[in-house]
Amino acid sequence: MPELDIHQFLCRQDNFGVLLRDRGSSACAAIDAPEEAPIERALRDTGWKLTHILVTHHHDDHIAAIPALKARHGAKVVANRADSRRIPGVDETVEPGQTYDFAGHMAEIIDTPGHTRGHIAWHLAQDRLVFVGDTLFSLGCGRVIEGSMDEMWRSLDRLRNLPGDTRVYCGHEYTLANARFALTVDPDNPALQARAKEASAEVKAGRLTLPVTIASECRANPFLRPQDKAIRARLGLVNASDAEVFAELRRRKNAF
C-alpha cells in the first residue's frame, strides 16, 4: 500500500487544517475545511491537488471553506449521512460502522456523538491514523453540546481503545490550555507533567503539539482516565462509574 503524506497547519487561530495525500494515486483529502486561505496556501506549498474533503462534523469552523474549495477544485465532499443536510455540498455519505475507501486506504467510520449528534471519526487502521475532529483533544476533549455526557464518554472510550500507536489528529490546537486544567485534577501524574512540558516547548519553538498517540493520551489525558484512583480520590468519586467521573471532569472543565 502506498504511503500517506500528511501536512498539518493552523487555520482561524486554533483550528487545525490537515491534508492527507496518497503517494501512489496523488489523491489528496482535506480533513474538514476550516478556512479557505490557509488550505489554499497549504495546497500551493505542497503542490498537492485537492480531490476529497472528509468531514467530521457540521460546525461552521469545520465546514466554512467547503463551498469555495469544492468550486475551485471539484473535490468530493464525504460526510456522515445523518448530518448531510447540515453540511454543504455533500457528494457521498458514510455511516458509522462502514468503511470508506480513500485511494486504497480503508477508513473505518467511528460513531462519536456527544460534541454533536452526527460527529464521526475517520480511522485508517492500516496507516495507524485517526482523525477525531472535536471529540478528543490532546489532554482534553470537546464540549458536550448536542449529546449526553454518557454518549460522549462512550465515544471517548471507543477512541481510547484504538491501538496505542495510532496517531491522533484533532480539530483544535488546545493542548496548553487543556494541560492547565488537567494538572488541577491529576497533578501527580508524571506522564501528564511530561506531556505538558513537551507541549509547552513545542509551542515556544513555533511548532504544533499534534499529532499525539493514543497510548500517550491514555497515560496523560484525564478525560481518558476516569478509572484512575488518584483522579477519583481528588474528585471525591471513588466508587462512581467511569461515565460519572468523566461527566464530573467535563463539568469542572466547563467552569474552569
Residue 116 or 166 having the CB closest to Fe ion? 116
Q: Please identify, using beta-carbon distances, which residue of 171 and 211 lies nearer to Fe ion.
A: 171
Measured at the CA of 209, the angle between CA 1 and CA 165, to 5 degrees, comes to: 40
User: Which residue of the set 62, 73, 119, 123 is catalytic?
Assistant: 62
Of 22, 32, 61, 83, catalytic: 61
Cα angle 216, 217, 221 (rounded to 5 degrees) comes to 130
The answer to whether 123 is a known catalytic residue is no
- Written as one string, the DSSP assignment of 204-225 is HTT-----EEHHHHHHH-GGG-
4 to 23, contacts with Fe ion by CB under 5 A? none
Instruction: Report in angstroms how near the CB of residue 80 gets to Fe ion at its nearest.
Output: 13
Binding-site size for Fe ion (CB under 5 A) equals 2
C-alpha cell at 190: 508524571
Residues with Cβ within 8 Å of 76's Cβ and at least 6 positions away in sequence, in order, are: 51, 52, 53, 91, 92
**Which 206-225 residues touch Fe ion, going by CB under 5 A?**
none
Catalytic-residue membership of 228: no
**Span near Fe ion by CB under 5 A; candidates 63-71, 133-141, 155-163, 237-245:** 133-141
Residue closer to Fe ion (CB basis): 56 or 209? 56
Exactly one of 127, 134, 173, 217 binds Fe ion (CB under 5 A); which one? 134
Tell me which of 59, 70, 105, 232 binds Fe ion, using CB under 5 A: 59
Alpha-carbon distance values, 237 to 24, 123, 151, 240, 246 (Å) = 52, 33, 20, 5, 10
Distance in Å, CB of 134 to Fe ion, minimum: 4
Q: Return the ∠ at Cα 46 (arms to 40 and 49), rounded to 5°.
A: 65
State in angstroms the smallest separation of the CB of 60 from Fe ion.
Answer: 9
Residues 6+ apart with CB under 8 A from 99: 106, 107, 108, 109
Could you say whether residue 123 binds Fe ion (CB under 5 A)?
Answer: no
CA angle 220, 224, 228 (to 5 degrees): 75
Q: What is the smallest separation between the CB atom of 44 and Fe ion, expressed in angstroms?
A: 27
Catalytic residues: 57, 59, 61-62, 115, 134, 172
What does the binding site for Fe ion look like in residue numbers (CB under 5 A)? Answer: 59, 134
